[in-house]
């Protein structure tokens, strides 16, 4: 039997294929230490009896398991409710697709104590299964350890210093919450560099499911302040300025005199070609490799498929934010 510690574990749950075999519950049961309380926030009704059977060792050891209905709640609302109902001063978070490794809770508690911080941020790696899932991971996320809200543990006071999470958006609420924490200089530790969780939400995703998920999430997140496309807007503006200069270069600086040293043939094509080449290099080679993808795997037959994935993601993102900009007053 594992040691029971004074931690409340909050998990938003829903009935979907992620519950096949209940891998998340199995990972919780196999922890080297157990939380004294588990709050399962039911976003949709779940089969409670099946879950309790999987948790029989926890229940028999005195772990309190509470099912809390919150039908239709988005992740932020579900987590806020969990914090409000938690009985302990330390609150940990997981979700359906974030599976903790066996020492996740024990290691996080040790770091929380050693670092004397208000919380320890989750450290996650993305795990694929199908060819497309690994292609998606390499294209947009990489193989490096990333900081995530699921897998995090906070003191209740630390969470409340930042304030509640946004409740009316389907995605992006965790990034907005972390941004607030940084602006407020709340002491959260995220520097271990060792993964303690695995994200498995892309294991069997298809291209069509990817398009639908990205479109839904970006349309929801486009209203958030951290997604104001100031950086991207500046790039577009400078590109348009450069393109306008290229279109008029020979007219302005050479008066269309082909003998002039300032006359450049095909200058517009050169600018467009260099711009496209720069985009291709940045999005399909540099960023994937920087995020941990192997260069040999990128510079292979996978390269055009990586380009297709990142182009799709960028077009969806552009459409979402353009729609939000045009219709923001409606």
**CATH number for the domain that contains residue 170:** 3.90.550.10
Using 50, 70 and 90 to split pLDDT, how confident is the model at 244? confident
SS3 string, 224-261, reads CHHHCCHHHHHHHHHHHHHHHHHHHHHHHHCCCCCCCC
276, 195: one domain:
no
**Would you say residue 279 has pLDDT above 90?**
no
| 201/127 Cα distance (integer angstroms) | 8
36, 164: one domain:
yes
192, 265: one domain:
no
Contacts of 70 (CB under 8 A, 6+ apart): 12, 41, 42, 43, 77, 78, 81
31, 147: one domain:
yes
Task: Flag whether 199 is in a domain.
Answer: yes
198, 254: one domain:
no
200, 232: one domain:
no
Using 50, 70 and 90 to split pLDDT, how confident is the model at 39? very high
79, 183: one domain:
yes
**Would you say residue 330 has pLDDT above 60?**
no
**Would you say residue 18 has pLDDT above 60?**
no
51, 138: one domain:
yes
- Average the pLDDT over each of 3-12, 111-120, 247-256 and give the range with the smallest value: 247-256
Task: Flag whether 215 is in a domain.
Answer: no
Domain span including residue 316? 226-327
194, 66: one domain:
yes
191, 233: one domain:
no
**Would you say residue 21 has pLDDT above 60?**
no
Mean pLDDT of all residues belonging to the chain: 87
Give the DSSP letter string of 42-77: ESS---HHHHHHHTHHHHHTT-EEEEEE-TT--HHH
| 179/183 Cα distance (integer angstroms) | 6
- Give the total number of structural domains in the chain: 2
């Amino acid at each position: 039997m594992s040691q029971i510690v004074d931690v409340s574990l909050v998990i938003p749950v829903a009935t979907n294929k992620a519950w096949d075999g209940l891998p998340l519950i199995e990972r919780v049961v196999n922890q080297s230490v157990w939380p004294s309380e588990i709050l399962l926030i039911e976003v949709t009704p779940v089969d409670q009896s099946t879950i309790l059977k999987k948790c029989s060792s926890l229940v028999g050891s005195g772990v309190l398991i509470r099912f809390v209905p919150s039908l239709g709640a988005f992740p932020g609302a579900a987590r806020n409710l969990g914090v409000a109902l938690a009985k302990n001063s330390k609150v940990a978070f997981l979700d359906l697709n974030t599976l903790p490794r066996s020492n996740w809770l024990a290691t996080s508690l040790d770091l929380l104590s050693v670092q004397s911080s208000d919380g320890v941020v989750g450290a996650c790696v993305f795990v694929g299964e199908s060819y497309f899932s690994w292609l998606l991971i390499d294209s947009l996320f990489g193989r490096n350890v990333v900081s995530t809200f699921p897998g995090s543990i906070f003191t209740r006071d630390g969470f409340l210093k930042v304030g509640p999470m946004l409740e009316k958006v389907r995605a992006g609420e965790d990034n907005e919450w972390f941004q607030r924490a940084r602006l407020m200089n709340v002491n959260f530790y995220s520097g271990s560099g060792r993964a303690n969780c695995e994200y498995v939400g892309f294991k069997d995703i298809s291209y069509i499911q990817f398009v639908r998920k990205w479109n839904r999430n970006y349309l929801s997140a486009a209203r958030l302040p951290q997604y104001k496309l100031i950086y991207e807007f500046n790039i577009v503006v400078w590109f348009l300025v450069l393109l306008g200069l290229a279109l008029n270069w020979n007219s302005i600086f050479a008066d269309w005199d082909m003998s002039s040293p300032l006359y450049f043939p095909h200058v517009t094509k050169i600018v467009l070609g260099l711009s496209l080449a720069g985009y291709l290099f940045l999005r399909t080679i540099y960023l994937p490799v920087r995020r941990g993808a192997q260069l040999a795997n990128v510079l292979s037959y996978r390269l055009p498929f990586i380009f297709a994935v990142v182009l799709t993601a960028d077009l969806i993102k552009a459409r979402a934010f353009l729609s939000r900009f045009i219709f923001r007053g409606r």
